[in-house]
Amino acid sequence: MKQEIKSELTRQLIIDKAFVLFYKNGFHAISVDKVMKETKLTKGAFYHHFKDKKELGLAVISDRIQSRVYDNMILPLLEVGDPFSILKTVFCERIKNFSIEEKQSGCPINNLINEISDSEVAYQLALKKIIEEWKLALIQLLEKAKTNNLIASEVNTSSVAVFLISAFEGVRGIRKLYNNDVVLEDYLLAVERYIDLLR
Partner DNA sequence: ACTAAAACATTACAATTGGTATGTTATTAT
Partner DNA sequence: ATAATAACATACCAATTGTAATGTTTTAGT
Give contact residues for DNA (rule: CB under 7 A): 1-4, 6-7, 10, 30-34, 41-49, 52-54
Q: Which stretch binds a copy of itself (CB under 8 A): 39-47, 58-66, 87-95, 124-132?
A: 124-132
What is the DSSP code (8-state) at residue 2? H
- Which does residue 147 touch among a copy of itself, DNA, none (CB within 5 to 8 A, set by kind)? none
For a copy of itself, the binding residues in 57-76 under the rule CB under 8 A are none
- Which does residue 140 touch among a copy of itself, DNA, none (CB within 5 to 8 A, set by kind)? none
At CA 171, angle to CA 167 and CA 173, rounded to 5?
120
Percent of residues in the chain assigned helix, strand, coil, to nearest 5: 75, 0, 25
Contact 187, 95 (CB under 8 A): yes
Taking the least distance from each CB to DNA, the nearer of 31 and 166 is 31
Taking the least distance from each CB to a copy of itself, the nearer of 49 and 106 is 106
Among residues 89, 124, 133, 150, which is the contact residue for a copy of itself, using CB under 8 A? Answer: 124
Among residues 55, 114, 122, 199, which is the contact residue for a copy of itself, using CB under 8 A? Answer: 114
For 155-194, give one letter per residue: b (16+ CB within 10 A) or e: eebeebbeebbeebbebbeebbeeeebeebeebbeebeee
